[in-house]
Amino acid sequence: MDRRGFIKICAGSAAALAMGVPRVWAEDFRDFSQALLTDTDGAPLKASTLGTEEAYIFHYPYKGVPCFLINLGKPAASMTLSGDPLSAEKGPYTWPGGVGKTSNLVSYVAICTHQLSAPNKDISYLRYAASGSELAGAPGKIVCCAHGTIFDPAKGAEHIFGPATYPLVPVRLEYNPVDDSLAATGIAGHHLIDQYFKSYKRDLIKEFGPGVYRESVGGHTIMQLLSKYSESIPAC
Ligand code: FES
C-alpha cells in the first residue's frame, strides 16, 4: 500500500474529534517546572544509553500529556518552521534542535495535530518508524496511522504528508553533560493540550483518574519504551 492508497486504517476515538481543532499549533515556549526523566525504578536516565529503534514515552508537563523522546542517532539542527499562515498574530517559530552530546535527542508532545490521536495504555496510532514503514517509506519518520500523516522528527516534526497541517508540538529538553541526564523544562503550543483535555476527557479520566490527568508531573517523570507502554501499536 503506497501513500496514495492509504485510506484510513483506523480512526479510533480520533474520529470524534474532527471539529473544533485549533488552527495554530506552535507558539513561543512556555516554561513549566523542570522534570527529570527517570526509568521505571525512578533512577535518572542516562542519555547515552538510549536506543534508536523506537520512541520513548514520558508525560509532561501534566500527568495526562504523552511526549516522545527520540534518539535520532544523528544531530538535528535548529530551524524555523511556519506557523499558521492564516493567522495574523501567530507567525513562524524557531525549533531549538536536538540536545545531548551530539544534538541527537529530540522531544515532541505525542498528540497528532490532525485529530489529536495520542498514545494510551491500550493503543498508539502514533509512533516513530526508525527503520521506515509502508506509509513513510524512508526511515526515521513519525507516522500517525489513524489517518496517515507523516512528520519529520529531525526537522522540528514538520508535516511531510497526510491530513495534518502543522508540526507536532515541541518539548524543550535540557541535557546535563555532567551526569548525562535529561530534564523537560517547557513546551510550545499549549492550546493543543487544552483541546486534547477537552476532547479526550472521558478517556483521560478512565486512564488517570478524575482531575489527575491535569496535575503537574512534579520534579520527575517516568520514561519508557513506547512498546512497553502501549499494548498495541498498529503499523502503517
Ligand atoms: S489523528 Fe488523523 S492523522 Fe493523526
Dump pLDDT digits (tens) for 86-140.
444 466 778 889 999 999 999 999 999 999 999 999 999 999 999 999 999 999 9
pLDDT for 21? 42
Residue 168 lies in a domain: yes
**What is the value of pTM for the model shown?**
0.88
Note the pLDDT tens digit of each residue in 173-207. 999 999 999 999 999 888 889 899 999 999 999 99
- Given a contact cutoff of 8 angstroms between Cβ atoms, the answer to whether 183 and 176 are in contact is yes
Residue 47 lies in a domain: yes
Give residue 95 CA to ligand 1 midpoint distance, Å: 22
Residue 33 lies in a domain: yes
Number of structural domains, the chain? 1
Residue 193 lies in a domain: yes
Residue 2 lies in a domain: no
Residue 234 lies in a domain: no
| Alpha carbon 153 to chain centroid, angstroms | 9
Any atom of ligand 1 within 6 Å of the Cβ of 107: no
Residue 110 lies in a domain: yes
> Rounded distance, CA 220 to CA 107, Å?
16
Orientation angle between helical segments 190-199 and 201-208, nearest 10 degrees: 90
Note the pLDDT tens digit of each residue in 61-86. 999 999 999 999 999 999 887 765 44
Q: Which residues of 90-125 are buried (b: 16+ CB within 10 A; e: fewer)?
A: beebebbbbbbeebbbbbbbbbbbbbbbbbbeebbb
CATH value at residue 88: 2.102.10.10
pLDDT for 231? 97
Any atom of ligand 1 within 6 Å of the Cβ of 171: no
Range(s) of the domain holding residue 130: 12-229
Residue 1 lies in a domain: no
